[in-house]
A = this chain, B = another copy of it.
Amino acid sequence: MDPLSRIAFEQYVMITLPSEKCKIVQMVPNTTVSLGKFGAFNVNDVVGYPLGTKFEILYDDETVEAIEHDKRVKAKSDKAGVKVIVGKVKVLEPSVKRDEGLENVGNSENNRELIDMGRDIQKMTTEKIESLKKQSTSGNEIISKIIESHGTFDKKTVFSQEKYLKRKKQKFDKQFTVEYLSSSFLLQYLIDKGDIQRILDMSEESIGMLLNLANIRPNGTYLCMDETGGLLTYFMLERMFGGDENTGAEGKIVVVHENEHANLDILKYSNYSEAFIKKHVLTISILDYFEPTTVEELQKEFTPLSREAVADLKSGAKNTYFRKLKWYKIHVQEIEIATEWQFDGLVVASTLHLPTLLPMLGKKVHGSRPIVCYSQFKETLLETAHTLYDDLNYLAPTIQETRCRPYQSIRGRLHPLMTMRGGGGYLLWCHRVIPADEPELVVIEP
């Protein structure tokens, strides 16, 4: 099964819920996935459908069974030990419109009758709703019934209607979509989880623009600092390989990090194998990058033997030799990266002092190649832009901001969302250039 187009076993996928929240789930065979109050389903029931399929959880007397909460994909919001009822899944038909419930309701132009409609107006009790939920009723049906029973619904303003329905929908709708875990979804997931600081407050639009401004291509060799736990690297890999190990593209990312090991934890959710990542994502510490050791020094610790000498080694010694040879080769490559490689682009998302860091990294970039630096704060980039502006090796540093403003996209009620997340960060963009020597003095004839 192609994990790029169909839900496959063992794959990490993104599940989006009616509440617009999302969660990452691994499709482990013969297990159950709980979506908390939205219900639960069997992994085996959804695998094989195309990625992007929207399902609805249905309950009928035959299939209802109580299970212990699945331990492998534990959702924080569920209380431990709570029994979740697993339903059947049904693929939703395309004709279902997102807010059909709302469209069927005669909406009034004023809200004279309502000042605080509270719970007392609602004729349908929560118990009634819960029982409806356990019957074979879809989310939209439940909502329609709630509307019917809501005496003053058509007296509410457009806004209170929408707010009310959204709240109800989030509570009772049992639809979910299984999505390919794209870089954008992964970002959305981290934002929903509240990991804003971990990803340096990056927005999808900022990172998308970063990739374009940095001219990321399948065959480039990029220098990168990634303080987002691998998120930025994942975005780059998606542009370069699209989740596929067999495109034949030879692109590489060198990730410079400031700890003992690079933190690229987020890559564990990707569809790339460890071997593939090892080949295309090379990591090196900031110390080893800027103060590389020499091959001579390496050889004090270990010297490769001639083929004949290796052949003469005993079995145990041979194993030791090859282990040490691997270590040696990694370090030789590190030295090469640090001393010889020139890059097709520099991409930085780091909280180190950028006015010192960028000129150090910028030296390693080939002429005419772009440099893009992300920061949560404009002030940091301002300082950096001034530094680069005074350096003839960088052409026209500018600070770029991009903000996406989503609309409530319901016909007849179009307007930008009333609230949204602030932030999203800023980009510094420039190109590496090579300053000219002063041209020779041409003596002009008098």
Contacts and interface: CB of A to CB of B under 8 A. Distances in A.
A445 interface: no
A260 interface: no
Interface in A363-403: 379, 382
Contacts of A382: 379
A56 to B, nearest CB: 37
Nearest to A378: B378
A382 B378 CA distance: 12
A442 B382 CA distance: 51
Contacts of A379: 379, 382
A272 to B, nearest CB: 42
A379 B378 CA distance: 10
Nearest to A382: B379
A382 B380 CA distance: 13
A384 to B, nearest CB: 14
A379 B379 CA distance: 8
A382 B379 CA distance: 10
A42 to B, nearest CB: 49
A382 B382 CA distance: 14
A379 B382 CA distance: 10
A239 B382 CA distance: 38
Interface in A382-434: 382
A382 B383 CA distance: 14
Interface string A181-209: 00000000000000000000000000000
A379 B383 CA distance: 11
Interface in A274-299: none
A297 to B, nearest CB: 47
Interface in A313-371: none
A379 to B, nearest CB: 7
A422 to B, nearest CB: 12
A202 B382 CA distance: 22
A416 to B, nearest CB: 11
A99 to B, nearest CB: 23
A144 to B, nearest CB: 33
A420 to B, nearest CB: 16
A380 to B, nearest CB: 12
A160 B382 CA distance: 38
A249 to B, nearest CB: 38
A250 to B, nearest CB: 42
A400 to B, nearest CB: 14
A414 to B, nearest CB: 10
A360 to B, nearest CB: 25
A398 to B, nearest CB: 13
A49 B37 CA distance: 69
A123 to B, nearest CB: 41
A98 B379 CA distance: 44
Interface string A60-85: 00000000000000000000000000
A94 to B, nearest CB: 27
A381 to B, nearest CB: 12
A406 to B, nearest CB: 16
A118 B382 CA distance: 43
A379 B385 CA distance: 15
A412 B233 CA distance: 45
A143 to B, nearest CB: 32
2 contacts: A379-B379, A379-B382
Interface of A: 379, 382
Closest 2 CB pairs of A and B: A379-B379, A379-B382
